[in-house]
Amino acid sequence: MSVKSAKDSARPAAGRNGTEKRTDASAGLAALEPAGIRNIALIGHSGAGKTLLIEALLAANGMITRKGSIADGTTVSDSDPAAVHQQRSVSLSLVPLMVAGTKVNLLDTPGYPDFIGEMRAGLRAADAALFVVSAVDGIDATTTALWAECAHRRLPRAVVITRLDHPRANYDAALAGCRKAFGDGVLPLYVPVRPDGEVTGLLGLLSGTATGYVAGEGPSEGTATADDVPGAADACGELIEGIIAESEDETLMDRYLGGEDIDTAVLMDDLETAVARGSFYPVLPTSAVTGLGTSELLDMLVRAFPPPTEAGVPGATDLEGRPGSSLGCDPDGPLAAEVVRTSNDPFLGRICLVRVFSGTLREDTPVHVGGHGLADRGHQDHDTDERVTHLYSPLGSALRPVPFCVAGDLCALAKLGSAETGDTISSRDNPLMLATWDMPEPLLPVAVEADTRSDEDALARSLGKIAAGDPTMRVERNQETHQLVLWCMGEAHAEVVMDRLREQGVKLHTVDVVTPLRETFAGPASGHGRHIKQSGGHGQYAVCDIEVEPLERGGGFEFVDRTVGGVIPGTFIPSVEKGVRAQMEKGVSAGFPVVDVRVRLVGGKAHSVDSSDAAFQAAGALALREAAAAGRIQLLEPVSAVSITVSDEHVGAVMSDLSGRRGRLTGTTSSGEGLTDISAEVPDQELLRYAIDLRALTAGTGRFTRSYLRHDPVPASFTPS
């Protein structure tokens, strides 16, 4: 490592709760080849126990001497101040550990729906998913939806049932819930030993051996047998049949049904193959408090989950979008890496968590950083050549230097000034673009204002930093309402964004979101514009008469010259139109733009000396205002086409709620698997908090999309914001 790198490694980095924490100067974990890597995302709903399970695995592996606490903000993976404040994971976190010579990259993902973007980033970086289910809370709809998403990505999966130390833990109910929600391919490898109702160990169904666990002590050899655990014999038989059903050896089932004892080694090989293939999902009971199941889980992570060489590599193109040669997980191949998370450190600057798919990243190497395809989120296409100065192996908030990062591994890069989440890092001589992953659409608008004018610049700078690392947030400067609107995934996401802005010293507050309305004429009207001024020298003289009539919705604007006899010289006709258009932009009643009208210029007067372009612009604007005062103005509100996907049990509640939002139902369609798609037209004013309300109506499982449809008249009885 260079002297400069060593100096940077010694710099203080911000720790949790605002305290300073020095970067770990010891060597980090760097895998030598892809076959010795396992990338595993921990998935589950908020509160299932993912973060505490990682603490237990780190303690069992000897990486830490004392397990942290979520309440105290001392866990390794939740080092983000926002996570400490909310006492739940709000961002993706990498925790690497070495197990029997294999580097296991554990990716702790948030389970709260607001942070699904971070969860999808974790799935992008992972090659397998470990589902964490609480024995206290069981399976909820969010967990089922996450399983379906992993199934769609064809990720190998396993299940751990946590919190077995809790007084209300119900392992049997949790296992039954997993099998009902995830399918019959979910079968336990171990069952808890409960001699007096309290879980004291595990019994391996295939090995027949028992392991005892006592809080504060390591695992010990147990004495229980299958006869001591009710239902263990039946569970063992079901497990063996399930493994044999997935085996490629078609003779195994006949041999087993014929009474032959199948060798345990054969069963384990077939089990590991089925897990890696994604067709079999083993279940392990665990407890983060007693350490129950941690050694068995670490062994399964290495043996059953596949290395990166067995996973696919995202498709790549050149900078022009032309397909390139297919990539493989080869350390000697072309460099292709992806930024899966971006954060900002007050001392090291921008820190990027990177998954290397092909090639090898090394210190002091020139690279190309590019991001395309997210312009609709405020991330303009960009291509920059930079130099990788330092590579780190992150462990929570600690950064440990590593000399390289091979294909299949993850690392952190500091001081890449242009890199944003989703960007591709490739060779400067052979720049590539990896296909982006699906980003969820933010649907909750939050309008913010700086407290003072001096805070406005700080707000703009801080938003740029946050947006670079959070593609699920969209920053909109509405040209009609002149509001700065942050589009977020939900209230918790918005709270995290606000906390991070304030941490950077920005003083701001939220205001009500203003719905951008339109104005139009409800009927024909006439207006007389007279702009005459005399102040010595050339004066100003312009007179025009107009007639206004409404057009159909979406008709736009038409300007028609109906003057005769040259009452207004032809050179000033466009000036009248320009004045009318300018006044339409400003509005004529409530300050909203005027749309869908036809304006006819029917008369006027001009002066040979005092008439001018500016004078007729002013007269045109005045004529439109007088027509509005004489006629009747109709306010129009934006209406969106909304598509909602909910479980069948929530259809009635959602449709009733839409009716209360002045929505118009346009259709329902069954999409299979107990889901229904509801189509409706809903005024935008009624959708301001729909991301929150739909979640409450559907226990967190409902989702919707929206797109602008048209503007409709505002009902006389309704007052929009």
Question: What pLDDT, on a 0 to 100 scale, did the predictor assign at position 354?
Answer: 95
Is 174 a residue whose pLDDT tops 90?
yes
Tens digit of each residue's pLDDT (9 = 90 or more) over 667-686: 999 987 788 999 999 999 99
Region of residue 203 (left: phi > 0; alpha: psi -120 to 50; beta: else): beta
Q: What is the mean pLDDT of residues 591-612?
A: 93
Question: What pLDDT, on a 0 to 100 scale, did the predictor assign at position 27?
Answer: 56
For the chain, the average pLDDT equals 87
- Among 219-233, 489-503, 535-549, 634-648, whose mean pLDDT is lowest? 219-233
pTM: 0.84
Quick one: 144 exposed, middle or buried, by C-beta within 10 A (0-12, 13-18, 19+)? buried
Sign of the dihedral through C-alpha 255, 261, 266, 270: positive
Tens digit of each residue's pLDDT (9 = 90 or more) over 418-456: 888 999 999 999 999 998 888 888 999 999 999 988 888
- Please, what is the Cα angle at 259 between 257 and 264, to 5 degrees? 95
Residue owning tokens 């392991």: 211
pLDDT band at 24 (very low <50, low <70, confident <90, very high): very low
Question: What pLDDT, on a 0 to 100 scale, did the predictor assign at position 659?
Answer: 93
Question: What pLDDT, on a 0 to 100 scale, did the predictor assign at position 19?
Answer: 33
The helix/strand count (H/E) of the chain reads as 16, 38
Q: Which residue has the higher pLDDT, 553 or 195?
A: 553
Region of residue 186 (left: phi > 0; alpha: psi -120 to 50; beta: else): beta
Quick one: 225 exposed, middle or buried, by C-beta within 10 A (0-12, 13-18, 19+)? middle
Give the pair of three-digit tokens for residue 588.
């004529």
Is 28 a residue whose pLDDT tops 80?
no
Q: What is the mean pLDDT of residues 135-143?
A: 86
% of the chain beyond a pLDDT of 90:
52
Question: What pLDDT, on a 0 to 100 scale, did the predictor assign at position 6?
Answer: 33
Name all domains of the chain by residue range, CATH numbers in brackets: 34-310 (3.40.50.300), 316-434 (2.40.30.10), 444-510 (3.30.70.870), 518-631 (3.30.230.10), 635-713 (3.30.70.240)
Question: What pLDDT, on a 0 to 100 scale, did the predictor assign at position 279?
Answer: 87
Is 196 a residue whose pLDDT tops 70?
yes
Tens digit of each residue's pLDDT (9 = 90 or more) over 509-518: 999 999 999 9
Cα–Cα distance for residue pair 707/473, rounded to 1 Å: 17
Cα–Cα distance for residue pair 409/183, rounded to 1 Å: 31
Question: What pLDDT, on a 0 to 100 scale, did the predictor assign at position 509?
Answer: 93
pLDDT band at 377 (very low <50, low <70, confident <90, very high): low
Cα–Cα distance for residue pair 180/172, rounded to 1 Å: 12
Is 78 a residue whose pLDDT tops 70?
yes
First to last CA, the chain: 59
